[in-house]
Amino acid sequence: MASTTVFGNLTVADGAVVNAPNNGRSYALYRSSTYTADLDASIPTLIRCYLPAGVSPFPNNITVFLYGKICTPAGQPYLIEAINMFPYPGNPYDATYGDVPAFAPRICILGHVSGNVETTYEGRRVFRVQSAAWVRDQLQATNFMAFFENSFRWKKTNTPNAGSAIYIIGPVAGRHENNLPLINVEDITFNAGSRPDSSGPSGQRGAGNPTRTRLSATNGWGNTNPTATQHAGTANDPIPLSSGESSDNNITEISPISSHTGAYSQESFMQPENELSVEPSNINQG
């Protein structure tokens, strides 16, 4: 797993339209410079960006905010494959044009540590990072030297082990003595990348599906009224709807009107007791 990207402000010039021989797409090709962290030095840079039909390259000396992929061949201009470029508004020939925050582009590197760590006489810990980027229609290997400043911020930070995967962000501080770009680490992630062999709780590593629990349909019946569990009701002995004595002495529970269904009459359900009494004189003796 490897990736190298860049973001920041750059000024472009000499925009020209070029066609890629392998895919037939049109690109804008610019000359630019990638400045170091102190803004005192720069590295020649060639930027390529996809150019939609009918669109012209930017004019000279336009300042853009750019993010894209970068390759840094030793002793040669940096190659940037821009994903997008956003020009700052205004006239590039105005005296105040390009007054944007002065910060050097940041390079983001996902790669592996190669070789041993060296410590300079200034106390900096320097290590090599191998990575790659898809630039100019092919995957190109790119290497960097990265270092921790000898400061309180990094005093307790361990140096990454050889062969370990890391992700770092920082500006270019210059060139190492081996002619590789030197990155001043501003942020680092150790053991970067997915680790499917160690994900999940202990004993379940590598499991494809989470543990599923099937809920019981009768689990709640164990805590209910014992009478309800012991007496399910029959046609001759239905379950009464009243769970206890009523606080109203004038209310009397009515027996089911059907011994087969156990259904109650809607009209006679829970009627007052005085409405249920029948005078003997009104009974038809016939």
pLDDT digits (tens, 9 = 90+) for 50-81: 999 899 999 999 999 999 999 999 889 999 99
Rounded Cα gap, residues 197 and 30, in angstroms: 45
Residue 208 lies in a domain: no
Q: Which residue has the higher pLDDT, 283 or 60?
A: 60
Of 67, 83, 104, which closes a domain?
104
**Same structural domain, 9 and 100:** yes
**Lowest mean per-residue pLDDT among 72-81, 92-101, 146-155:** 92-101
Give rounded-to-5 percent helix, strand, coil for the chain. 10, 40, 55
Cα 38 from Cα 104, distance rounded (Å): 8
- Say if residue 14 is in the same domain as residue 84: yes
Convert the pLDDT of each residue in 101-134 to its tens digit.
Answer: 888 999 999 999 999 899 999 999 999 999 999 9
Inside any domain, residue 98: yes
Point out the domain boundary residue: 77, 104, 131: 104
Instruction: Mark which of 54, 74, 104 sits at the end of a domain.
Output: 104
Whether 280 is in a domain gets the answer no
Q: Is residue 161 part of a domain?
A: yes
The domain that holds 34 is classified in CATH as: 2.40.50.140
157-177: average pLDDT: 94
Domain total of the chain: 2
- Owning domain of residue 50: 3-104
Q: Mind listing the pLDDT tens digit for each residue in 210-256?
A: 444 445 455 555 555 555 445 555 556 655 544 444 444 444 444 44
* Residue 196 backbone phi and psi in degrees, to 5: -65, -20
131 close to 109: Cβ distance less than 8 angstroms: yes
Do residue 33 and residue 90 come from a single domain? Answer: yes
Is 212 domain-assigned? no
The pLDDT value recorded for residue 194 is 57
Residues 58 and 149 placed together within one structural domain of the fold: no
**pLDDT score for 21:** 79
Per-residue model confidence (pLDDT) at position 80 = 98
pLDDT digits (tens, 9 = 90+) for 17-51: 999 877 789 999 999 999 999 999 999 999 999 99
Q: Are residues 88 and 133 in the same domain?
A: no
Instruction: Quote the CA–CA distance of 40 and 137 in Å, as a whole number.
Output: 32
